Amino acid sequence: MILAVDIGNTNIVVGLLEGTTILNSVRIATDRKKTETDFIIQLKLTLSTIFKVSEDKIEGSILSSVVPELTNQLVIALKLLLNKKPFVVGAGIKTGLNIKIDNPQTLGADRVCDAVCVIEEYKVPAIIIDMGTATTISVVDKNKNHIGGMIIPGIKTSLDSLSLSASQLPYISLDEPKTLIGKNTIDCMQSGIIYGNASLIDGLIDKIKEELNEGFVVIATGGYSKLIIKHTKHKIIYDPDLLLKGLYYIYKKNSSN
């Protein structure tokens, strides 16, 4: 078993994996003020009370992060907890992914993990949509190269920004709209954010296919994707575990040497 840890802008996901099978996982709110001691205590509690597994049963760990100020704290915490330094997705680690963008080191570790999992488990070329704090779209070509993509304001980020900027628009929960054409402010906001993002995703898929002149498998992951893709016209595969499984594949590529 291994521990796979993903540090995101909103949540830190800790997964216990046996191969690509996710035995258990938890989400911890991302708190940039936490120290390595705080994380050691939290990880210990997670292992003992939620995962119900002792530390000596963990073979090793791997970490991805898009929050640089917390990366070192988690590296130290995992090393002290497991007596073995974790692999960190970034420069110098083997991924098997050829990144063909202007500066490969700027590609987020989460997008690297998503792409690695897609190459291992799905057909290419592929379009990968990850809907979290930001919505990212990654394109992997038929030669398994990551050739670029898009970054879009995330669904909840956009909704909160709308409420913050417009005095008469309330903060609302992201629920399924009753109808496409809203009859009140809340329904209008929910319809706009959900159907608007579904249309945005459909439009970008069309644009990518048009530009590259080929068909793609489309895979979606991330907290809000399940809510959105049910309203898209394109067939989109939903895989909530893309990132954690990608971490496992990267771990294996590096632990076998």
The catalytic residue positions are 110
Distance separating alpha carbons of residues 90 and 209, to the nearest angstrom: 29
CB 183 within 8 A of CB 148: no
Cis bond leading into 177, ω under 30°?
no
Structure tokens at 83: 């007596």
Q: What single DSSP character describes residue 56?
A: G
* Cross-strand bridge partners of residue 3: 16, 61
Distance separating alpha carbons of residues 43 and 77, to the nearest angstrom: 8
For residue 193, which of 152, 151, 238 has the smallest C-alpha distance?
A: 152
> Residue with structure tokens 């909530």?
240
